[in-house]
Amino acid sequence: MTCAKDTNKDKLDLIIHTPGGDYEATKRIINYLHETYKHIRTFIPHMAMSGGTLIACASDEIYMGPYSSLGPTDPQTFLNNSYVPVHAIIEEFNMAFEEVSKNPQKALLWNERLKQIPFGRLKAAQNMNENSKLYLTRLLAKRNCKKKSEDDNRKISEFLNSGKGHSSHGRGISLKDAIDNGLNAIDLRKEKELEDAVLSIYHSAIILFEKTSVQKVILNNNGRKYINSFTEK
């Protein structure tokens, strides 16, 4: 918010490089961006996974190159000290139901396996899965795919949210995949001067993070900045 102050509220160019983050926090960032800027372009110099992909989908235009990756947006939940895709929980319960229906003797085996999952987690996973698809469908209709039909946006949402289809939450989605599946993604290489500027900023930031204790930087075109450094205790 500090860096957004006194900037042009008509347009925002946002360079994103992130492995992802908290789902609800990402939604709050998106709400703020939509309330503040009328037109948003996002640039992906390397990767914008998970929550980063959500922010990209919240923009009017996504600029990528052959070196860029988006990622699946299927929601994750914390279970047994690690994050687990909610679709995996749903599929495991469905598998248990099918196998026990065919062979009741497997019930004991599945009981031992599923009792590690807290009561109510299946329903929570189902709700998270459906809400994530609905949210992304509406998000696409608001900005990145506003000219497409509701059915088209639903298909794009299904593609991005399909944990099973991507096999891994960390699997990359290329520029070609993004375009082929309906996103308003643009080849950054077609604008050479812009590509050079974006990649220069990205590489400068990477060097800064690797060579100093700085862990977060937010800059705007007016020179206003926010810098957070890591300090060992």
Helices (H) and strands (E) in the chain, counts: 9, 10
pLDDT reported for residue 163: 62
CA distance 77 to 217: 28
11-75+127-229 CATH choice from 3.30.1280.10, 3.30.200.20, 3.90.226.10, 3.40.50.300: 3.90.226.10
Write down the pLDDT at residue 117: 86
* Angle CA 77–78–81, to nearest 5: 155
pLDDT tens series, the chain, 233 aa: 777 777 778 899 999 999 988 888 999 999 999 999 999 999 999 999 999 999 999 999 999 999 999 999 988 888 877 778 888 899 899 999 999 999 999 998 898 888 888 888 889 989 999 999 999 999 999 999 999 999 999 999 999 998 665 555 557 999 999 999 999 999 999 999 999 999 999 999 999 999 999 988 888 878 888 888 977 55
Indicate the pTM of the whole model: 0.84
Domain ranges of the chain: 11-75+127-229, 78-124
pLDDT for the residue numbered 179? 97
